[in-house]
Amino acid sequence: MRIVFPIFDGLTALDAVGPYEVLRMLPDADVVFAAAVPGPVTDGAGMLSLTATEAFADVTAADVLVVPGGPGARANVRNEALLDWIRRIDATTRWTTSVCTGSLLLGAAGLLEGLRATTHWSATGLLESYGATYTEQRVVEQGRIITAAGVSSGIDMALQLVELIEGPIAAQAFQLAIEYDPQPPFDAGSYAKAPQAAKDYLASR
């Protein structure tokens, strides 16, 4: 089970690390972090690095592709080398997935045309410019393509994917292993529910 995460400067680390913590527990999981060149890539905050062990050029197939988002995803929507690589890997996968604005890269690669999909609430218009229909669902499954909404929803997506691959007992076991039992202190985790003051605070930063 080869699980490939393309990573790039400016990614949101949790978009990759959240699903990684779940998917690495699959039987025979072979997890690969790939980048344009092997080595460290820096997250969108400029404070955290993840290490790519392989170059895109050396990764030619995957069972599962997980495309993270972040400022770097938006910056790469015209990166034809990356988009072409995503298309080529998608042609080999059982499942092609994205987290947050990683869906913009799937869209820019032409993989979401005519499909329902989700993304971070701040990128809905751009997602639809690629021919997708935005939905507010946290995880959207369209055949073998699965998109997840912003950042933390990557964990939900990974658990849903485990259920599809290995069954509900495995998914529940993995959820227990990471003690994923969300009990947020505020009910502000989606744009529809967040108070206006919180939206204004983000807009002012």
Give 77-100 as a DSSP string. TT-HHHHHHHHHHHTT-SEEEEET
Contacts of 6 (CB under 8 A, 6+ apart): 34, 35, 56, 65, 67, 68, 82, 85, 86
For residue 156, which phi and psi values (nearest 5 degrees)?
Answer: -60, -45
Rounded Cα distance between 18 and 35, Å, is 18
Other C-beta atoms lying within 10 Å of the C-beta of residue 132: 27
Catalytic residues: 100
Q: Which residues pair with 3 in a beta bridge?
A: 31, 64
Instruction: Tell me the torsion sign for CA atoms 13, 112, 149, 60.
Output: negative
